[in-house]
Amino acid sequence: MRSYLSHLECTETGETYNADEPHTLSPAAQKVLYPRYDIDAVRREVDPSVFATRPPTMWRYFELMPVRDESNIVTLGEGGTPMIRASNLERSLGARTLYIKDEGQNPTGTFKARGLSSAVSRAKELGLTKLTVPSAGNAGGALASYCARGAMECHVFMPEDAPPAAKTEAALAGSHLTLVKGLINDAGRLSREKAAELGLFDVSTLREPYRVEGKKTMGYEIVQSLEWRVPEAIIYPTGGGTGLVAMWKAFSEMECLGWIGPERPKMIVVQSTGCAPIVRAFEQGVRHAEPWENAQTIAAGIRVPVAVGDYLILDTVRESGGTAIAVTDEEILAGMREMASAEGVWSAPEGAATLVAYRKLRESGFLAPETETVLLVTGAGSKYTDVAMGA
Ligand SMILES: *Cc1c(COP(=O)(O)O)cnc(C)c1O
């Protein structure tokens, strides 16, 4: 297998950069860089039916992944999560087709595994051996785990009130864990300072170009599991928005490859009423989100007051004909109970928020009973036992 990675491209200006040297944001515009591939060559040389013949991890899409030498892959078996047909919820909600994409079945219990397997593998390939990350919790646990696996040095900066399981995970895996008074953006400042001081490479989401490639494999998996078509709507619990824009990138790659047509799912953002900067920006009709003050929610992974890729998220939601909606923590707790008792999926609070959003959007008429919808359950409830006690 070979990767068809060709270069990095600035998502704002289109300027291109050499992918085989380390980059963060685009040097000129300070915007997100996306990896690009030689799509024409992939179209000629790769038949998508080959993916089903390979081991079911996200690395089965190797040609469209940013690692050149397979021996650099740092893996714990991430990806290949099930699309569960939520037939009991279909009955109770009067829905024709509802799926749960259960990302809680990933290593480390969340879909952060995809992004960090990709980023750590690429860092290893580029000779970067000391990594740092600011995290609301799960990214820190995942980076620590993949660094342990890859025998690399790891620094993690997390809010002091991050979920206990994530703190434990990062500490047990041997990372240098710093607990920060404040939120993920405060942790980000400290992480960047430490990076400059100690020569660490900062893998903050979307500031580093390769985490998005791990998360885009969710888009490939969803489409492959529907026999190479897209669903009509995807509901996504949005923090930094990496997974949402990543799936959008995957759909656009697949259309260029001729594997799907021009149709797209409505991409739907759900946030907590305690931290909803993207929902507010969507409603205001603007392309950049103002920082959210005093962010507070039990859904730690979406307690993200500032997103560097805000313009990518908002463009995606609007182009797709989607929407953005906020739900309360009380509704999220009820959603956890509803999903677990109906389908046996003990979701993290972020994932449960998608079910709450689905119900509200059905009530408002935005989604019809027949709209084929995927609830992106981004993590397992077992990483939040403290929260679940209250459900
Ligand atoms: C990080 C995280 C999110 C948000 O993901 P983004 O791609 O940053 O928007 C959602 N759910 C869980 C469980 C997370 O850990």
User: Band of the pLDDT at 271, cuts 50, 70, 90?
Assistant: very high
User: Band of the pLDDT at 390, cuts 50, 70, 90?
Assistant: low
Mean pLDDT calculated for residue range 276-305: 97
Ligand 1 pocket, residue 214 CB under 6 Å? no
* Euclidean distance between CA atoms 271 and 148, whole angstroms: 32
Q: What is the predicted pLDDT for the residue at 388?
A: 78
Q: Which residues contact 168 (CB under 8 A, 6 or more apart)?
A: none
CA of 42 to the centre of ligand 1 (A): 30
Mean pLDDT calculated for residue range 101-124: 98
Ligand 1 pocket, residue 109 CB under 6 Å? no
352, 335 in Cβ contact below 8 A?
yes
Give the ligand 1 atom nearest the CA of 243.
7
* Euclidean distance between CA atoms 321 and 319, whole angstroms: 6
User: Band of the pLDDT at 336, cuts 50, 70, 90?
Assistant: very high
Q: Which residues contact 336 (CB under 8 A, 6 or more apart)?
A: 346, 347, 349, 352, 381, 388, 391
Q: Indicate if the pLDDT at residue 195 is higher than 70.
A: yes
Question: What's 379's DSSP letter?
Answer: B
Q: What is the pTM assigned to this prediction?
A: 0.98
Give the ligand 1 atom nearest the CA of 383.
13
Q: What is the predicted pLDDT for the residue at 391?
A: 67
List the structure tokens of 2.
């070979």
* Euclidean distance between CA atoms 335 and 329, whole angstroms: 10
Q: What is the predicted pLDDT for the residue at 157?
A: 97
Query: 306-318: buried (b, 16+ CB within 10 Å) or exposed (e) per residue?
Result: bbbbbbbbbebbe
Q: What is the predicted pLDDT for the residue at 387?
A: 87
User: Band of the pLDDT at 389, cuts 50, 70, 90?
Assistant: confident
* Euclidean distance between CA atoms 290 and 326, whole angstroms: 16
CA of 152 to the centre of ligand 1 (A): 24
Q: What is the pLDDT of residues 214-226, one digit of tens each?
A: 999 999 999 999 9
To test the ligand 1 pocket, which listed residue (378, 383, 387) has its Cβ within 8 A of the most ligand atoms? 378
Helix/strand/coil for 134 = strand
Mean pLDDT calculated for residue range 333-343: 98
Q: Indicate if the pLDDT at residue 339 is higher than 90.
A: yes
* Euclidean distance between CA atoms 117 and 77, whole angstroms: 9
List the structure tokens of 206.
């979307």
DSSP per-residue string spanning 24-51: -S-TTT---EEEEE-HHHHHHH--GGGG
Mean pLDDT calculated for residue range 184-213: 96
Q: What is the predicted pLDDT for the residue at 24?
A: 97
Mean pLDDT calculated for residue range 93-99: 98
Percent of all residues in the chain with a pLDDT value above 70, rounded to a whole number: 99
Give the ligand 1 atom nearest the CA of 110.
13
Mean pLDDT calculated for residue range 75-83: 98
Ligand 1 pocket, residue 237 CB under 6 Å? yes
CA of 45 to the centre of ligand 1 (A): 34
Give the ligand 1 atom nearest the CA of 136.
1
List the structure tokens of 150.
């890859």
Give the ligand 1 atom nearest the CA of 112.
15
